[in-house]
Amino acid sequence: MNLAINEHFTKIDKTTEKIVENIYINEPEKLLKFIIQRLIVNKQKADVLDGFIYQKLLKTHENIIKNELISYFPSGIILLQSCLKINYEPLQKLLMNEQFREADELTNKYLYELIKQKYPGVKRWLYFTDIQFLPPEDLFTLDFLWQIYSKGKFGFSIQKQIWIKSNENWDILWDKINWTKNGTMNRYPKEFQWTIEAPDGHLPLFNQLRGTQTLSYLFKNITWT
């Protein structure tokens, strides 16, 4: 296997994807042993390679391998943490099965729920003044789940990286992550892409109809890029 057991991956490139695909086709049991060694035996923190392998093995038709995978990782490979004791397992399940539209909707519900625990009541959208009340631990968990189960393509921190590389120019960001067409914001949901083939940073979505201030504050609260 041409995959380093201790290497840390933040993105799955074409070469790595091809290596994993070849092993998956010919010797899928080696992929299972690989992530068991990394995550269970070595107790390494899961990264995008582990997420990618896990998602591949979920699709196997070899029941012995699939059953063993589920016995080791019944709810996914991420140990979920929440300052406010919110259950993020439904989101992990959606993401590891690449149900990105449903995961996007649930992510927004979680953000509202986190704010509502500070300010009870129904909110239709987040204000920039709300962002300070998002627990960093929970925001990290949401972002980490998106990264791990998207080959490192999606997540708020990925969007922040692209924004910084775009000299913090919002119009350039929208264009790079394909949220606009000819300068006009895409219509939800049909003009957005809900597959892994979407551009880096395309998901999760964030409502920009009320300006960029809220997302700017969200980016400022992401310190782990």
Q: What CATH number does residue 197 fall under?
A: 1.10.10.1770
* Contact by Cβ (8 Å): 92, 80: yes
Q: What are phi and psi for residue 119, nearest 5 degrees?
A: -130, 90
Question: What percent of the chain is predicted at pLDDT more than 70?
Answer: 97
In the chain, the number of structural domains is 2
DSSP secondary structure string, 109-124?
HHHHHHHHTTS-S--S
* Contact by Cβ (8 Å): 202, 162: no
pLDDT at 89 exceeding the cut of 90: yes
Same domain, 148 and 181: yes
Q: What are phi and psi for residue 74, nearest 5 degrees?
A: -65, -30
160-183 average pLDDT score: 96
In a domain, 2, yes or no: no
Which pLDDT belongs to residue 125? Answer: 77
User: Bridge partners of 180?
Assistant: 185
Q: Is the peptide bond before 189 cis (omega within 30 degrees of 0)?
A: yes
Phi-psi region of 168 (alpha: psi -120 to 50; beta: other; left: phi over 0): left
Whole-number Å distance between alpha carbons of 204 and 81: 19
In a domain, 183, yes or no: yes
Q: What are phi and psi for residue 6, nearest 5 degrees?
A: -105, 5
pTM of the model: 0.95
More confident residue, 196 or 85: 196
Whole-number Å distance between alpha carbons of 175 and 116: 32
Same domain, 214 and 103: yes
Q: How confident is the model at residue 210 (pLDDT cuts 50, 70, 90)?
A: low
Same domain, 66 and 106: no
Nearest to 204 by CA among 164, 147, 155, 161: 155
Same domain, 185 and 115: yes
In a domain, 7, yes or no: no
More confident residue, 81 or 121: 81
Nearest to 161 by CA among 12, 11, 18, 52: 11
* Residue numbers of the domain that contains 118: 97-220
